[in-house]
Amino acid sequence: MRIQGKIALLAVLSLTVAGLIAPAAHADPTPKPRAELVPAWDIPGPQGSTTYEGGSPTTGDQRASAPRWRCFLYVSDPTFKKRNGQWQVEGTGRQSCTGAGYIPQGPRLTLQRYLGLGIWRNVFRTSIAWSHGGYAETRTGWRCAGSGSEEYRWVVDGFAQGVPRARAHAYSLQYLRVIC
């Protein structure tokens, strides 16, 4: 009887421990994606923000004149948020212009994923958020596809249609390492 009692006690204990360790029947079996910001490790161009400008042409005997217009371009670091039940890499691009002759103007956001060996691939691009005023902004998100560990960065391109047409870009200060 003592052996049967010990066997019964072991069976009860193993069931209790198994219940503590095993996930509940209604729990989601897929792990929650994780993300962390990492400092940019390559510097392909201006980071975070930049300015660009347009001026009147000068001749050799004239001094350079002040620019007719100036645009300030900003890009956010990537963030990782859950929207409508799906994880997304989100970002914002803004452009603010002053002066005369730049209209229409606007920013465009591009999300890039690191492939390795210094190569970044465009995975998502917005259309240009054209504005006939001095300020334009675009915000967007891209669904995390569940492909393992990836690094992402946002690039904002600013466009001003003044004569001549001008363009500038800036890269996010930090990259987002995502494990989907």
**Is 115 a domain residue?**
yes
Least confident of 38-42, 61-65, 176-180: 61-65
Does the pTM exceed 0.85?
Answer: no
Residue 21: strand, helix, or coil: helix
**Is 24 a domain residue?**
no
Q: How much helix, strand and coil, in percent to the nearest 5, is found in the chain?
A: 10, 55, 35
For the chain, how many structural domains are there in total? 1
* The token pair that represents 141 in the structure block: 């998100």
Instruction: List all residues 6 or more positions away from 149 whose beta carbon is below 8 Å from its beta carbon.
Output: 177, 178, 179
Q: What is the DSSP string of 83-117?
A: ETTEEEEEEEEEEEEEESS--SEEEEEEEEEEEET
Residue 116 pLDDT exceeds 60:
yes
CATH number of the domain residue 111 falls in: 2.60.40.10
pLDDT number for residue 78: 93
**Is 169 a domain residue?**
yes
**Is 3 a domain residue?**
no
Across the chain, mean pLDDT equals 79
**Where does the pLDDT of residue 161 fall: very low under 50, low under 70, confident under 90, or very high at 90 and above?**
confident
- Provide the domain limits for residue 49: 29-54+70-179
Residue 83 pLDDT exceeds 50:
yes
Residue 58 pLDDT exceeds 70:
no
pLDDT number for residue 149: 79
What would the pLDDT profile of 6-34 be if each residue is shown by its tens digit?
Answer: 555 455 445 444 444 554 545 555 567 77
Nearest Cα to Cα of residue 33 among 78, 84, 117, 89: 89
**Where does the pLDDT of residue 91 fall: very low under 50, low under 70, confident under 90, or very high at 90 and above?**
very high
pLDDT number for residue 16: 45
What's the rounded mean pLDDT across residues 62-72? 74
**Is 160 a domain residue?**
yes
Q: What is the DSSP string of 44-58?
A: -S-BSEEEEEEE---
Comparison of pLDDT for 151 and 148, the residue scoring more:
151
**Is 13 a domain residue?**
no
